[in-house]
Chains A and B, each alone.
Chain A
């Protein structure tokens, strides 16, 4: 029995046998099995599409009086057709170094992992035209990259490409922590009106509404705290405004300015 050393997935191939009489040819592997009744001494043709799952196959030829066997490989098709692209996270703050990662597995048309080194292009683009590009070579079918989140918030497109095969994911970049948090105070009747400047991150992106801003008034004999969500980019609140009180503002771990209030 004369076997091919390797067959590309989906391609036609043939097996030549010797001798005479009838026999059964088995081709078995976990990936696929075939069985043919053949005439010994003839060439058995397997048309395109007969074996399409990559793997090592055992060929067994059983006649009336003898059994012959050998093995051969079916290798993945040359052309990438499917990219399994895993991108994380789907949402993150702006300005993070290597904050976005992507891993890709490369498959042929029959979902065989293409294990020969293949160049993958990764591209992260935002609506303002900024583009980051990386190129990686697959190793046993896998490649990865890391990208920085950009300075501007928005909906970015993160894509992996091999030739004309593209797989894209959406990555939402949101404003980072507030930066330069600042409030001002004005008297409002018997109370004190506190209002922040528009709250932005260090790249100038507006911090989203709903972000909690904490105002604290510390005075002789006590302290009061009020949590306020940002609304239309600012936070405002009325506090008692005790004479000699120290009023501070913070959001998360970011501390803003302090005001000492004298009536």
Chain B
């Protein structure tokens, strides 16, 4: 069952009906709370790594592979996303997330420099597949709140949460 689900989802990932055009990214000027100034390079790196994390998320959910989360996610975010992928496997479904646009703003850089928070008004498509049959494709928008923490050579997503507006 598990193996079948993984194969079906992997095939689906190759033949998805939703396109994989690169998302547009708009970055608002930082609106920081906190005493620590944010170097431009730090902000740019955090945003680059966060936008990249959507590709990890998309691949992991489309293929039902938790290991694909590893490069981009850590801590609570990774645990929750991995748990969802396990639920997908159990239910025989998979989902494909394709981000279309990001409207980003960095809102907090902790005084110790060990965490950075940003918001993202993101537009994305979701395609739902149950045992290889596409059930629906929907366009959604949401405001995400993200907390990133520095790892060895990149920022990783520690909190990834859609926030009710």
Q: Which residues 1-29 in A have Cβ within 8 Å of B in the complex? A: 6, 24, 26, 28-29
State whether A146 and B35 are in contact (beta carbons under 8 Å apart), knowing that A103-B111, A113-B161 are contacts in the complex. yes
Q: Is B117 touching A31 in the complex (CB atoms < 8 A)?
A: no
Q: How far is the CB of B12 from chain A (nearest CB, A)?
A: 14
**CB-defined contacts of A56 to chain B, threshold 8 Å:** 140, 142, 162
Q: Is B112 touching A26 in the complex (CB atoms < 8 A)?
A: no
Tell me whether A32 is interfacial, beta carbon within 8 Å: yes
Q: Is B111 touching A58 in the complex (CB atoms < 8 A)?
A: no
Q: Is A140 touching B112 in the complex (CB atoms < 8 A)?
A: no
Q: How many positions in chain B have a CB within 8 Å of any CB in the partner chain?
A: 41
Q: Is A33 touching B138 in the complex (CB atoms < 8 A)?
A: no
Q: Is A26 touching B161 in the complex (CB atoms < 8 A)?
A: no
Q: Is A113 touching B93 in the complex (CB atoms < 8 A)?
A: no
Determine the distance from Cα of A115 to Cα of B142 in the docked complex, in whole angstroms: 14
**CB-defined contacts of B126 to chain A, threshold 8 Å:** 28, 58
Q: How far is the CB of A108 from chain B (nearest CB, A)?
A: 11
Tell me whether B55 is interfacial, beta carbon within 8 Å: no
Q: How far is the CB of B28 from chain A (nearest CB, A)?
A: 14
Tell me whether A35 is interfacial, beta carbon within 8 Å: yes
A58 interface neighbour in B80, B117, B128, B160, Cβ under 8 Å: B128
Q: How many positions in chain A have a CB within 8 Å of any CB in the partner chain?
A: 40
Tell me whether A193 is interfacial, beta carbon within 8 Å: no
**CB-defined contacts of A154 to chain B, threshold 8 Å:** none
Q: How far is the CB of B122 from chain A (nearest CB, A)?
A: 10
Closest-by-CB residue of A relative to B87 is: A33
Q: How far is the CB of A75 from chain B (nearest CB, A)?
A: 5
**CB-defined contacts of B34 to chain A, threshold 8 Å:** 103, 144
Tell which of A66-74, A121-129, A160-168 binds the partner. A66-74
**CB-defined contacts of A75 to chain B, threshold 8 Å:** 164
Determine the distance from Cα of A24 to Cα of B164 in the docked complex, in whole angstroms: 26
Q: Which residues 106-165 in B have Cβ within 8 Å of A in the complex? A: 107-108, 110-112, 114-115, 117, 119, 126, 128, 130, 135-136, 138, 140, 142, 145, 147, 159-164
Residue ranges of B at the interface with A (Cβ–Cβ < 8 Å): 33-35, 57, 61, 76, 80-81, 83-84, 87-88, 91, 93, 95, 97, 107-108, 110-112, 114-115, 117, 119, 126, 128, 130, 135-136, 138, 140, 142, 145, 147, 159-164
**19 new A-B pairs (CB below 8 Å) besides A73-B162, A113-B145?**
A24-B130, A26-B93, A31-B81, A33-B95, A34-B87, A35-B93, A53-B80, A54-B162, A58-B140, A62-B135, A86-B110, A86-B114, A105-B115, A139-B107, A139-B108, A140-B163, A142-B110, A144-B33, A144-B108
A-B contacts, 20 listed (Cβ < 8 Å): A26-B130, A28-B128, A29-B84, A31-B80, A33-B93, A35-B93, A35-B130, A55-B161, A58-B126, A62-B135, A62-B136, A73-B162, A75-B164, A101-B112, A103-B112, A140-B107, A141-B145, A141-B147, A142-B107, A144-B35
